[in-house]
Amino acid sequence: MENPLLSACRPLPFSEIRAEHVVPAVRALLAEAESALAHVGPSRLGYDEILGELERGTERLELVMGVVEHLEGVATTPELRAAYNEILPDVSAFWSSIPLQENVWQALSSFAETDAARALEPTR
């Protein structure tokens, strides 16, 4: 069975998403995001190499959690609520851990001291 939460198609197939898709999809995307964060480091100093990598590495997780949260809000079932509650602590722990990861902190601290960082537009 293909997991529609891991599909890259648009529009999203909301009618095909079931509670049993949530946990495996989110766990896979958490692993993907954690792997991307492991590649952030001070040896690759640039906006795109640090913040771009963070964005690209967490984008799918963020999208899928948005879909799951939307469905939980508008079309919940006991099974969907249970799946959401199962993965929510892991997702929260992941997002909370980002600024605590030494490699990310070192990369951001080192980059902040560069002329390239000082020249960024304020929104970046």
* 5 vs 32: CA distance, rounded Å: 14
Give the model's pLDDT for residue 95: 96
Model confidence at 1, pLDDT cuts 50, 70, 90, reads low
- The percent of residues above 70 in pLDDT, for the chain, comes to 98
Q: How are the residues of the chain apportioned to helix, strand and coil, as percentages rounded to the nearest 5?
A: 75, 0, 25
* 14 vs 101: CA distance, rounded Å: 34
* 124 vs 122: CA distance, rounded Å: 5
- Average pLDDT over the chain, rounded to whole? 91
* 92 vs 89: CA distance, rounded Å: 5
Which H/E stretch holds residue 54? helix 53-74
- 97 or 122, higher pLDDT: 97
Q: What pTM was estimated for this model as a whole? A: 0.87
